[in-house]
């Protein structure tokens, strides 16, 4: 069976010419940010990738076809669409098989990027172990994906709404390399630092690319997580956010929000409770990740 997969023209050309490509996800567009900032951000992120000498490939499933790179119209339509499915490893094949439309999470974007021969992917923050997971068992499929699909994912860490300690414990258990770019502590999404020490530290895109290639050469399955601290002038201090995250979590509980609804609900409430500051920081950190991802893609042999 062939997979209905289509490449945007500039991505197809980049593949033919060996130009570096950076994959981008679409759940951040449909479930992570409100319209129109979601579409504006997606375009800015694509521009950052281009400025870094790589070609962006935003990934989504549209009417049963896996799109590797979206046109301006497709991006805008997806950004305004209501009730778009959020696709992870469990749902992406069913969505394609039944002619559906959906936005890809980190896990599903890694799967699609790998199918398309793309080795580097930039996002905002990965999913992970939710607070209270000891009773809810809510652990993002992003973690298992990092353990099995050979794509280097650049993020500003796991989202700070999560239990960061448990998230990094699980990544360690799964054998996922967690590389902190340029500092000795893990970043915490909207905040540049956290009390958690860096499992691995690298100071250049070339080193990160070399580590990716060494894993492939050694036959180690899975990818790498590169955690790239938000620029310090754009960050929100963790102390400022802590009570806001706690309030959003209490509200999610009171409303009985669960499973795939948790992350979008929390991000939406934190945006309201910070008067938009969390969104401004989120935009800054994704752009920063796109810049680093373009450098890493440029350092990889094609
Ligand atoms: N990065 C952001 N905002 C987001 C996401 C990433 O800045 O909304 C998305 C990614 O698609 C990630 C998902 O895979 O959040 C995590 O969702 P969950 O916790 O339900 O696995």
Query: Per-residue pLDDT for 301 more than 90?
Result: no
| Cα–Cα dist 69/80, whole Å | 18
Annotation: binding site for Mn(2+):
138
| pLDDT score recorded for residue 302 | 65
Burial of 157 (0-12, 13-18, 19+ CB in 10 A): buried
- The ipTM (two decimal places) reads 0.95
Q: What is the pTM of this model?
A: 0.98
For a substitution probing ligand 1, which of 23, 24, 32 has the most ligand atoms within 8 Å of its CB?
32
Q: Are 141 and 174 in contact (CB under 8 A)?
A: no
Name the fold adopted by 5-301.
Indigoidine synthase fold (3.40.1790)
User: Exposed (0-12), middle (13-18) or buried (19+): which is 134, by Cβ within 10 Å?
Assistant: exposed
**pLDDT tens digits along 162-190:** 999 999 999 999 999 999 999 999 999 99
Q: Give the nearest ligand 1 atom to 130 CA.
A: 19
Ligand 1 center from residue 16 Cα (angstroms): 31
Phi-psi sector, 140: left (phi>0), alpha (psi -120 to 50), beta:
beta
Q: Ligand 1 center to residue 248 CA distance, Å?
A: 16
Question: Helix crossing, 262-273 with 277-299: angle to 10°?
Answer: 120
């Amino acid at each position: 069976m062939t997979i209905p997969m289509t490449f945007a023209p500039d991505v197809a050309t980049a593949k033919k010419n060996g130009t570096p490509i950076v994959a981008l996800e679409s759940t951040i567009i449909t479930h992570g940010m409100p319209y129109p900032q979601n579409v504006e951000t997606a375009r800015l992120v694509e521009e950052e990738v281009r400025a870094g000498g790589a070609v962006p490939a935003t990934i989504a499933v549209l009417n049963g076809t896996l799109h590797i790179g979206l046109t301006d119209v497709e991006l805008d339509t997806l950004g305004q669409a209501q009730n778009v499915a959020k696709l992870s490893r469990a749902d992406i094949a069913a969505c394609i098989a039944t002619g559906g439309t959906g936005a890809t999470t980190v896990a599903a974007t890694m799967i699609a990027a790998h199918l398309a021969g793309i080795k580097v992917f930039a996002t905002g923050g990965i999913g992970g172990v939710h607070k209270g997971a000891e009773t809810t068992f809510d652990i993002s499929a992003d973690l298992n994906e990092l353990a099995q699909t050979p794509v280097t994912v650049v993020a500003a860490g796991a989202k700070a709404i999560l239990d960061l300690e448990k998230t990094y414990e699980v990544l360690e258990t799964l054998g996922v390399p967690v590389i902190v770019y340029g500092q000795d502590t893990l970043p915490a999404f909207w905040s540049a630092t956290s009390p958690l020490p860096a499992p691995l530290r690298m100071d250049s895109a070339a080193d990160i690319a070399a580590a990716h290639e060494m894993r492939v050469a050694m036959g180690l399955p899975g990818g790498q997580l590169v955690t790239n601290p938000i620029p310090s002038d754009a960050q929100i201090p963790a102390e400022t956010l802590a009570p806001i995250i706690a309030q959003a979590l209490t509200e999610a509980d009171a409303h009985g929000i669960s499973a795939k609804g948790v992350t979008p609900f929390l991000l939406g409430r934190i945006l309201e409770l910070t008067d938009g500051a969390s969104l401004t920081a989120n935009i800054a950190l994704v752009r920063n990740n796109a810049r680093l991802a373009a450098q890493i893609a440029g350092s990889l042999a094609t």
